Structure 1
Amino acid sequence: MIKRFINSLIDKTIASKSEYFKNILTLLSGTAFAQLILLLITPILSRVYDPESFGDYTILLSIVNVLTVFATGRYELAILLPKNSIWAKQILYLVAIISAVFCIFLLPVIVIFNSFFQKTFNLSHASSVLFLVPLLVFINANLSSLLYWFNRKRQYKKISFNKISESIITSGISILLGIFKWPQGLILGRISGQLTALFLYGKSANWKDISTFRISKKRLSYVAKRYINFPKFLVAAHFFNTSAYEAPGLIINYYFGNSILGFYGFANRIATAPLSLMAGSIGNVFREEAARHYISTGNCHTIYTTTLKTLLKLSIVPFILFFIFAPDIFRIIFGEKWITAGYYARYMTPMYFFQFLSNPLSVVFLITEKQRVDFLWQIFLFALNITIVVLGSLFFDIKTTLIIFSLGYSIMYLINILLSYHFSKGK
């Protein structure tokens, strides 16, 4: 059904690029099923967990997502770039080593300052699982690098299968622990699902291929220096980007309380499901295709415009309908107590729309090695969003704060699209 829907939106010119869209549909079908599982169990989760539990879950994921930026040095983004897989393998090894060292040093910090973090982030139930943050960071870092490795190898069926398996395990564990009244069940379910995905990536990888060449200091040193611009510019840039997205939740928690954060986090959880479904699948294939085009021709403009048109065709009608009916959708599917989250999702729909368009295409900054421009954009995005949310929290209610926040984010995403469009031409 999903394949027929997408094919109906592709004109004859686009349809001629069959291999490109075949790869997209392969990833899309697997990701769609994985997201469908999560969406189907969310009405159950919304009834076995309270808003405070979702608030804690949101805070912990925010912490993990920010720390993961440092754990990889953003070297995993370079896995697609070397022409020879020998050097791509060394980058894979490099990420594993960096993330392991980072998390080893992170663990005692988390243990020693557990009480401080609990008070600072206003955690209701999750202080007992804070020590799992290093594990989550390590898993996130290496899942990301393995995803890029499989992306490079065009093994999209394996990526889809692993996403489905992760979703099944995450859902099952979360529901089971929720039934037994474990408030930490959401985060434990996520850990279980990601460990499953990491195991499956390892099992399905051709380790004979990956380990053909021994890890050597010389090779690791070469790739670390060759792609030094990734940690040099992208660690800071992606820190600002991730913080721009995650920090507002922490600020909302501080000024409005854990329950309001729970509604905000739940709204994001539901609204971003179609984002990760469509944009993630298209983005993974676009990343590999655009990198290949740029290496061979010096630009990736054609594949860029094709992908942008497809994203627009896929998104306009669904986002309009979501904006209109979001509160009713949340009330009917998730229960009366979650209608507030539906209104929050409505206020942030413009942001979700431009995020859907921008995220898959922003990889152009990396492919064309415009990390400095990306870095400046990320700094401005961070400064703008933090300013908006802090001032909004001080002078307005949560509704007005989220509306202004959404509009500010939308403008920044539009600027990002215009910049990536320009760079796709190879200028």
Structure 2
Amino acid sequence: MAQDPPMPSFLTNFFKLTSGTVIGQAAAIILIPIVTRIYPPEFFGINQLFLSIAAVILVVSSLSYNFAIMVTESDEDSMNVLALCVLCAISISAISGAILVGFGDWFGSALNTPLIVDYLIWLPIFVILGSLTEILDEWLSRKERYGIIARSIVTNSVSTRVFQIGGGLIHTSPLGLILGSVIGAGLSNLSRLRGLREDVALVKAVTKDRMRDLAIRYRHFSFYASLGSLANSMSWELPAFMLAYYFNPAIVGYYALAMMAIRLPMGIVGKSITQVFFQKASEEKIQTGDVKNVVREIHTRLISIGIFPFVVFVILARDLFTFIFGANWLTAGTYAMILAPWIFTVFIISPISSLFGVLDRQKAFFSFEIVTLCTWTILFFIGGTLGNPVVTLTLFSIGGTFIWGSKCAYLIMESEAGYRGSIHSLVKHLLLSVVITIPLMIGVYMELPFLLLLGIAGVTAVAYYLQIFFKDALIRKEVMRMIRGSVSPEHIEWMERLGLLQK
């Protein structure tokens, strides 16, 4: 018997996770221009180095056992894995904190940023909070409590910006940016912990013997996934380290804002899709033995949804940065425009990257990340030697696009989903995006006022997504179903008479 396509249930969970996130993230985005007018690029650079060091430690803090929370068959075993992750996170955070604080002067000298030494004391706290976020998100995803995750993301985003602004108004220093991140992570975890109240009884199932048995059973997660995640994190954070080494903290600050501006709005959708896809792919693998239907249905639509904002961003990047963040951040706009193709590639591939765990391909994941890290090191060495950050980031973006594209090809091959649908979707929607944004390109060429350009971009966005809505039957069906579930019956009948809904 043929199975029903997995898209509707996927979209239901996806919209549940993102709908509560968009408003909060929008508020956080609105607050960023205030932050950029309080702190100079140098302070952004120091903050980015702090976050980059923390990110490298964070990926190995639970020894990747957090990925096993989703795939264990019973909730009792999953809770034992969760407890194991917490113990690992506390231990590794304490050890890494002692090393960083003890050798702080050496790290400051190596990164060409001596000021960072004063703030390393906060790293263990931030790492523990970040680890707890990842661990709890895996559990909440397993239980499909996406609304709790969404509210926690909102709490983190908004509270981080608010405390960064408050700290900067009291005394402008990198500490305000760093403490804002620490406090935001702490408050968001309180929200997540409240979502575990109905699971308290499962804590009684946690025992040392069972934790040890599960640690042995899932040791392949710990070894290959941890090494692969470490290489992945180092490749993501390497630009900040290398830009600091070859240039200065101000260049790191421009890069940090560029990445923040690109990744924050895409992260609203990207992280939500990744969490829901991982849950759905794991479930599909257990029930049917393969994941090709999930990959085939999701990946092509991820391309169609994500490519248009990327095209618009490339067209407006420089004007967007100077208008929103101030004239001092024009360089960051140039960096963002250069990095956008790579970030888009990451956006459409990141969700299916969870297939490395679902399909038990940890060795392949590790190999890809080692190749990526080595490639980044070579490209940044070349760019740093030439002494030009624009050339350096251009090489980085081109290399990233090719490497992540190769990773995508491998995962599609392993899932047996087939390349044709993804390639067709990419070419089709890229051409459609370019055609629809021609008025916007003309407006930029004519140097129209920026607010008018935003209006044109909004009109083109409506035109593009209406095309998606009316041509994609699965998306249209799910959107209609959600409308019917949220609108009163009398309004449904009225909309059907007008032809706005299908009967």
- 2:190 partner amino acid: F
Whether 1:157 aligns to 2:147 is yes
Inter-partner Cα distance in structure 1 for 2:5 and 2:178: 41
Question: 5+ unaligned residues in a row in structure 2: which ranges?
Answer: 419-503
1:201 deviation in Å?
1.4
Name the count of aligned residue pairs.
415
- 2:20 partner amino acid: G
1:23-422 matches, within 5 Å, as 23-123=13-113, 125-183=115-173, 184-206=175-197, 208-209=199-200, 211-395=202-386, 397-422=388-413
After superposition, the C-alpha distances for 1:348-373 in whole angstroms (9 at most, x for unaligned) are 11101100011111001100001111
1:142 deviation in Å?
1.3
1:168 deviation in Å?
2.1
C-alpha change, 1:34 and 1:124, in structure 2 (3 Å) is: farther
SS of aligned partner of 1:348 = helix
1:214 deviation in Å?
4.0
1:106 deviation in Å?
2.6
C-alpha change, 1:202 and 1:16, in structure 2 (3 Å) is: closer
1:424 deviation in Å?
1.9
TM-score by length of 1: 0.93
1:390 deviation in Å?
1.0
Inter-partner Cα distance in structure 2 for 1:104 and 1:125: 22
1:11-30 matches, within 5 Å, as 17-30=7-20
Inter-partner Cα distance in structure 2 for 1:17 and 1:235: 31
Inter-partner Cα distance in structure 1 for 2:96 and 2:214: 25
Inter-partner Cα distance in structure 2 for 1:107 and 1:331: 38
Inter-partner Cα distance in structure 2 for 1:193 and 1:349: 27
C-alpha change, 1:369 and 1:16, in structure 2 (3 Å) is: closer
- 2:10 partner amino acid: Y
After superposition, the C-alpha distances for 1:172-220 in whole angstroms (9 at most, x for unaligned) are 1011011123311111001001000111211221265454434322101
After superposition, the C-alpha distances for 1:37-57 in whole angstroms (9 at most, x for unaligned) are 221001101100000111011
| Percent identity between the two aligned chains | 26
SS of aligned partner of 1:182 = coil
C-alpha change, 1:378 and 1:16, in structure 2 (3 Å) is: closer
After TM superposition, the structure 1 stretch with the greater mean CA deviation from structure 2, 145-154 or 17-26, is 17-26
Contact 1:237 1:376 in 2 (8 A): yes
1:148 deviation in Å?
0.3
Q: Which has the larger radius of gyration?
A: 2
Question: 5+ unaligned residues in a row in structure 1: which ranges?
Answer: 1-12
Contact 1:240 1:379 in 2 (8 A): yes
TM-score by length of 2: 0.80
After superposition, the C-alpha distances for 1:7-35 in whole angstroms (9 at most, x for unaligned) are xxxxxx99984332111001112232232
After TM superposition, the structure 1 stretch with the greater mean CA deviation from structure 2, 112-121 or 321-330, is 112-121
